Amino acid sequence: MVEITLITKPGCHLCDDARPIVERVVAGFDQVTLTELSILDDPALAERYSDDIPVVLIDGRQHSAWRVDEAKLTDRIRTRLGA
């Protein structure tokens, strides 16, 4: 199982651009979960990522910030799944 975390905040246009890309990629895999977290709900996330959102984490490790490349995210997930 691979866990994808999308860190965002309301009103972030880059987050709005990234969300459908991440959702589309995750939908292509049965063994992948997606959690979205807002930096407004977690001071630790805000301190760490406020200048970098949106941030995509794969199994807790940062994969990307600001923009999401669909092909790179797909490839990274495939690698994590051993596919």
| pLDDT tens digits along 39-61 | 999 999 999 999 999 999 999 99
Which regions of the chain are under pLDDT 50?
A: none
Checking 69-72 for CB contacts under 8 A at 24+ apart, the result is: 70/21, 70/24, 70/25
Query: What predicted TM-score, i.e. pTM, was given to this entire model?
Result: 0.95
pLDDT of residue 72: 98
Q: d(Cα 14, Cα 67) in Å, to the nearest integer?
A: 7
pLDDT given for residue 67 in this prediction? 96
Q: What is the pLDDT of residue 73?
A: 98
